Structure 1
Amino acid sequence: MTEQDLSLPVAAQPSVDSLVDGARLGEDLGYDTAWLPESWGRDAVTTLTCIARETEDIDIGTSIMPVYSRSPALIGQTAATLQEVSEGRFRLGLGPSGPIVIENWHGVEFGNPLRRTRETVETVKGVLSGEEVAYGGEYFELGGFRLRCEPPDPAPPVDTAGMGPKAVELAGRFADGWHALLFTRDGLEDRVEDFDRGSEMGGRDRSQQRVTLSLTCCVDDDPAVAKRLVKQHTAFYLGGMGTFYRDNLARQGHKAVANKIYDSWQDGDREAAMEALDDDLLAEIAVWGTPEKAREHFDRFSDVDGIDAVSVSFPRAADIEQIRTTVRALAPE
């Protein structure tokens, strides 16, 4: 059975307490996991600690924590600590983010993201084992230390995010799960094949790995309002967050549209970028509408082979009332 998760919407939240309230609401409604991204707002670690202390049943996780902003050993220490304070409910999601955030915000060169992600995952798992970490890689060399507290039992799973075939194959080989974003149904099926191949190459137990699709959703009594919010959000990612999302959509058979959105956004014409994203394509990668229509549309994403969880995410311009309406309308049944 496909699990149903909640991606906490950092952009619309006025306070940490508001994020805690959102996680509590998700817990009350039966969501399986509350994910928290980390970009250039509140840090995920402090916020998830607060959420862990104020919830009891819902799992918590990072989706995603960038691998460039902390050392792998510190990420391992953080994962161990969050697993402790959540009493075993934590799941670590890692990924490279993109050069716009990493270079312009963190001031770190964005180089060879696949290799850095792999080395980070391997080091983090070494830290979480409680054994002395001896690691020699292209980016990191560690030795002589082990975790200076009891290692978490069980160790939290470590997932990675990625969009290209090699990145997703890497997730299957070395991570415990993969986080997908902005995929059509056909595109998802192709990447799940990559993940499964990686799992086999790594000798992993696929039944113990988790594929999570993050799905932008907005519910409003006025479907035109909901659609515009979803469309603006999607166009922003495709046009304004570097080239990775554009290239990902192009790989899924929508090159002309992806380039039109990107070029229009880069030229400052936001309306043209949104107009280039027609309703049929938007419906393949997002959910919007009245409560009844959105529920019907959302349920069609839960039967994609290989998808273990679908996470309700939100447009960045949605307000708190729209977010709460969406959380309730799409709650697990």
Structure 2
Amino acid sequence: MEIGVSLSPATTGNAVDDVVAQAREAADAGLQAAWFGQRFDYDAIALAATVGREVPEIRVGTSAVPIYPRHPLLVAGQANTAQAATHGRFRLGLALGARSLIEPAFGVPYERPITRLRDFLIATRSVTVDGVVDYHGETLTAVTVRPAPLAGAQPPPPLLVAAMGPQALRVTGELADGTLPFLAGPRTLEQHIVPTITAAATNAGRPAPRIFAFLAAVVTDDIDAGKTAAAEHTAFYDGIPSYQRVVALEGHDRAADLAVVGDEQVLEDAVRRYRDAGATDIVVTETDLLGPESRSRAWKALGEIARSLG
């Protein structure tokens, strides 16, 4: 099992320098991967490529880049560049995104998301694996007018999808290499996510998918402060239908109810629960909600957990 963390740059100084320093600290603590969400202030693929090149001890990935309004030819080119820059340590995580964000921000209709996901994955994999594509799907066209393989971008970067609903999971199992569920607890993993994506992969003749379970965790002795910070930071997800569904499947009302708050033993117990539920890998987020000391404490604990799990 690989254990990684999600990184976010500081709001002062130089954001890229800061996140590179964070990645070095994470690697020194024994963590094995760093992940970057896509925001409006930086490009996640470019940031992952930079960090992976500067800190060669860790693997890097995006968690995740929305496919609206991007085109697979451009995303595949970015991913191949990141794979070459990191000498094969990059993972491309994609997401459908949310209608409430996509349409106001980009002015494009959030239509036929599952079909769009299928088209996007087929075209992207063709470019990253073969260097060529001639695909005319229902929602997009992707044609390389000249071959587009990139020297050094081997093996092809794994394709991962932040899929949690049954339709998205089935497409992901059929066409991608794994999923990146966030705020999906152990019960939801074991009873819904893992069986659905695994069956789809098996039916498609693909290898067993990797399940990168993302869980929010704050390591602290001040439980009230940790829970308050987690509630404030995760309230955003309470208004997004896909997250509402997985939170409800776990038997909770709010995203904050899935946050792990407590000491090192509480964190280790949570990691083991997710592993036992079918997670092949763990990514811990929100470790910095109470400041750098709490974050360092969490990363040190996670490094020790990684070593104990082998």
Normalising by structure 2, we get a TM-score of 0.89
Counterpart Cα distance in 2 of 1:151 and 1:53: 13
Counterpart Cα distance in 1 of 2:263 and 2:142: 53
* TM-aligned CA distance change 1:13 to 1:327, over 3 Å: farther
Equivalent residues of 2:48, 2:90 under 8 A apart: no
Q: Which residue of the partner structure matches residue 290 of structure 1?
A: 263
Give the SS at the match of 2:108. Answer: coil
- Deviation of 1:10 after TM superposition, in Å, equals 4.6
Counterpart Cα distance in 2 of 1:98 and 1:35: 20
Counterpart Cα distance in 2 of 1:152 and 1:50: 15
Counterpart Cα distance in 1 of 2:188 and 2:301: 27
Query: 2:302 matched to 1:330?
Result: yes
Equivalent residues of 1:9, 1:313 under 8 A apart: no
- Deviation of 1:140 after TM superposition, in Å, equals 1.4
Equivalent residues of 1:9, 1:316 under 8 A apart: no
Counterpart Cα distance in 2 of 1:310 and 1:157: 17
Equivalent residues of 2:20, 2:54 under 8 A apart: yes
- Deviation of 1:210 after TM superposition, in Å, equals 1.2
Give the SS at the match of 2:181. Answer: strand
Query: 2:111 matched to 1:111?
Result: yes
* TM-aligned CA distance change 1:68 to 1:54, over 3 Å: same
- Deviation of 1:215 after TM superposition, in Å, equals 0.5
The residue type equivalent to 1:310 in the other structure is I
* TM-aligned CA distance change 1:292 to 1:316, over 3 Å: closer
Give the SS at the match of 2:106. Answer: coil
Gaps spanning 5+ residues in structure 1: where? 262-273
- Deviation of 1:151 after TM superposition, in Å, equals 6.8
Q: Percent identity?
A: 29
Equivalent residues of 1:12, 1:318 under 8 A apart: no
* TM-aligned CA distance change 1:253 to 1:64, over 3 Å: closer
Give the SS at the match of 1:302. Answer: helix
Equivalent residues of 1:12, 1:317 under 8 A apart: no
For residues 144-201 of structure 1, the C-alpha deviation after alignment (integer angstroms, 9 at most, x for no partner) is 3320643722111111111211111211111011111111211111210001111012
Counterpart Cα distance in 2 of 1:54 and 1:204: 33
- Deviation of 1:37 after TM superposition, in Å, equals 0.6
The residue type equivalent to 2:199 in the other structure is R
Q: Which residue of the partner structure matches residue 174 of structure 2?
A: 173
Equivalent residues of 1:218, 1:289 under 8 A apart: yes
* TM-aligned CA distance change 1:293 to 1:160, over 3 Å: closer
Q: Which residue of the partner structure matches residue 264 of structure 1?
A: none
Counterpart Cα distance in 2 of 1:70 and 1:8: 23
* TM-aligned CA distance change 1:135 to 1:313, over 3 Å: same
Counterpart Cα distance in 1 of 2:280 and 2:105: 33
- Deviation of 1:313 after TM superposition, in Å, equals 0.7
Q: Which residue of the partner structure matches residue 274 of structure 2?
A: 301
Q: Which residue of the partner structure matches residue 182 of structure 1?
A: 183
Gaps spanning 5+ residues in structure 2: where? none
Counterpart Cα distance in 1 of 2:32 and 2:180: 15
Normalising by structure 1, we get a TM-score of 0.83
Q: Paired residues, what number? A: 302
Equivalent residues of 1:220, 1:322 under 8 A apart: yes
Q: Which residue of the partner structure matches residue 249 of structure 1?
A: 247
Aligned CA RMSD, in angstroms, stands at 2.3
Structure 1 segment 202-213 matched on structure 2, within 5 A? 202-206=204-208, 209-213=209-213
- Deviation of 1:238 after TM superposition, in Å, equals 1.4
Equivalent residues of 1:9, 1:314 under 8 A apart: no
Counterpart Cα distance in 2 of 1:187 and 1:49: 32
Structure 1 segment 12-31 matched on structure 2, within 5 A? 15-31=15-31
